[in-house]
Amino acid sequence: MKIAVLSGKGGTGKTLIAANLAAVCDDASYVDCDVEAPNGNLLFKSKTQETEPVYIKIPVVDAQRCDGCRACTEFCKFNALAFVSGKIMVFSEICHSCGGCVLICPTKSITETRQEVGSIAYGTSKKIDVISGTMHTGIASGIPIIKELWNVMEATPRNIFIDCPPGSACSVMESMKYAEYCVLVAEPTVFGTDNLKMVHELVQLFQKPYGVVLNKSLENEWNPAKEYCLQKGAPILCELPFDQKLAKIQANGDLIVRKSKQYKNCFSELLRSIEREVQHAAAIDS
Amino acid sequence: MKIVIPIDMPSLDESISSTFGRSKKFLIYDTDSKEECYIDNFARSSQGGAGIKAAQVILDTGADVLITPRCGENAVKVLHESNIKIFQAISGSVQHNIDQFLQGKLLKLEDFHGGYHGNHGDGDRHI
């Protein structure tokens, strides 16, 4: 099964949930799609065994051959090409590497060159595969790296726990695109609840089965995220307490489930609930 | 000399559009003939790169000068490459801006923003 862990707001506990779920699962890969700031590998203390670069294709125009017909600039819906002073200007950071300009050019003046935009690191930690995408500094979009991570994920038979980027924009959509189930992590703040609402709308838009983990829950205190879930009928998977012990383990760069029996049980139970939900969703689907 | 100004309402008495790439129209004002004409900004509905396409629209008009409150880096690359000079719009009507420009009172626009493309909506990193 492929489980995407997302939250609107950063710092609500996506990495905590994704990494610890992977760690209590016997046969799992943890995949960090938060390519702007991948840090789950720190908790796993995994040594990188292999790193592979990720490339995108960028058009190059042969100015000698180009007759200035502008078929390419008119075709490109992202406006990554402009016709200026008799030649084509390419804006590589806007280009989505669709290759359309190469196909459409009547004079065959456009070829493609590759540009490295990031890398994928492979490591292991106690039988868990730890796969992290990293975007290079100065690159405008992490989408190509997430796409490549999906190629890796599609090729593995293991259970996959995907640590998504924060927010609800393109990179999040790309990260949860083929997931069978989404775990939304929420914290009991008004800001966090507003962002929960955004990802909640997103999973509904994508028609993904989902459940909510209420992280940092305070007993007998008002929890706007919980209130939202109850109002909207969003299923709550579990509540994790706002616990200093938990925070200390995490802050020391350790996995909770490897340091605390109590939380190991808690995450095993969460994993079982998710497995039930995934099976249930698959049964409805078939 | 042809001056181009991003506008939302086709009138010299209205104020200049607050955006460049996604303004509704462009005014083209010919300082020699004192004629004005308005064209639609086709770039307005673009998914991305509206500034680049808007710059393309402008350079295709054969403009010499652009007066705008702001302009993105990518559009600037296109405009500079085609030797179009960019001046900072001031408050007041389109006509007022044209008058001030002709009197040499407008400053060149030198502060260009990096654009709004990419990364929109990230929870905590781009507030």
φ and ψ at B40, to 5 degrees?
-70, 145
Per the CB < 8 A criterion, the answer to whether B61 and B31 are in contact is: no
- In 3-state terms, what secondary structure has residue A59? strand
Same-domain status, A160 and A92: no
Cross-chain CB nearest to A165 (options B74, B81, B122): B122
A contact test, residue of B79, B83, B122, B127 with most A CBs within 10 A: B122
Residue numbers in A near B119 (CB within 8 A):
140-141, 169, 171
> Which of the four pLDDT bands, split at 50, 70 and 90, describes residue B127?
very low
Same-domain status, A277 and A168: yes
Residue numbers in B near A141 (CB within 8 A):
118-119
Same-domain status, A68 and A151: no
> Which of the four pLDDT bands, split at 50, 70 and 90, describes residue B43?
very high
B48 and A CB contact within 8 Å: yes
Same-domain status, A249 and A157: yes
The stretch B11-30 carries a mean pLDDT of 94
* Residue of A120, A118, A138 lying closest to A129 (CA atoms): A120
B66-91 residue pLDDT tens: 999 999 999 999 999 999 999 999 99
pLDDT at B15: 94
Same-domain status, A175 and A141: yes
B66 and A CB contact within 8 Å: no
Euclidean distance between CA atoms A8 and A116, whole angstroms: 29
Euclidean distance between CA atoms A163 and A15, whole angstroms: 6
Same-domain status, A77 and A175: no
Q: Tell me how crowded residue B86 is: count the other CB atoms within 10 A of its CB.
A: 21
Euclidean distance between CA atoms A191 and A189, whole angstroms: 5
The stretch B34-43 carries a mean pLDDT of 93
Total domain count, chain A: 2
Output the CA torsion B10→B13→B18→B21 (10° steps): 30
A242 and B CB contact within 8 Å: no
The stretch B53-67 carries a mean pLDDT of 95
Q: Tell me how crowded residue A156 is: count the other CB atoms within 10 A of its CB.
A: 14
Pairwise CB contact (< 8 Å): B46 & A165: no
Nearest CA to CA, how far is B56 from chain A (Å)? 6
- In 3-state terms, what secondary structure has residue A31? strand
B45 and A CB contact within 8 Å: no
Strand partners, A122: A50, A131
Chain A residue with minimum CA distance to B126 = A167
Helix, strand, coil share of chain A (percent; to 5): 35, 30, 35
Euclidean distance between CA atoms A137 and A226, whole angstroms: 37
High-pLDDT (> 90) share of chain B, %: 80
A84 and B CB contact within 8 Å: yes
Residue B113 confidence (pLDDT) above 80: no
Residue numbers in A near B121 (CB within 8 A):
167-169, 198
**Tokens 């770039």 map to which residue?**
B43
Q: Tell me how crowded residue A72 is: count the other CB atoms within 10 A of its CB.
A: 25
| Rg, Å, chain B Cα set | 14
Per the CB < 8 A criterion, the answer to whether A77 and A167 are in contact is: no
Per the CB < 8 A criterion, the answer to whether A179 and A2 are in contact is: yes
Nearest CA to CA, how far is A167 from chain B (Å)? 4
Range of the domain at A148: 2-54+117-285
Residue B121 confidence (pLDDT) above 60: no
Tell me the domain boundaries of chain B. Answer: 2-102
Residue numbers in A near B120 (CB within 8 A):
169
A contact test, residue of B73, B74, B127 with most A CBs within 10 A: B74
Same-domain status, A89 and A182: no
**Regions in chain A scoring below 70 on pLDDT:** none
Pairwise CB contact (< 8 Å): A80 & B53: no
Residue numbers in A near B72 (CB within 8 A):
none
Same-domain status, A49 and A92: no
Same-domain status, A157 and A263: yes
Pairwise CB contact (< 8 Å): B122 & A167: yes
Residue numbers in B near A140 (CB within 8 A):
117-119
Per the CB < 8 A criterion, the answer to whether A185 and A215 are in contact is: yes
Residues 77-106 of B with CB under 8 A from A: 77-78, 81-82
Chain B residue with minimum CA distance to A170 = B119
Q: What burial class does residue A220 get, using C-beta atoms within 10 Å of its C-beta: 0-12 exposed, 13-18 middle, 19+ buried?
A: exposed
Q: What is the CATH number of the domain that holds A90?
A: 3.30.70.20
The CATH code of the domain at B2-102 is 3.30.420.130
Print the SS3 string covering chain B.
Answer: CEEEEEECCCCCCCEECCCCCCCCEEEEEECCCCEEEEEECHHHHCCCCHHHHHHHHHHHCCCCEEEECCCEHHHHHHHHHCCCEEEECCCCEHHHHHHHHHCCCCCECCCCECCCCCCCCCCCCCC
Same-domain status, A6 and A75: no
Same-domain status, A133 and A171: yes
Same-domain status, A41 and A92: no
pLDDT at A45: 93
- DSSP letter for A91, please: -
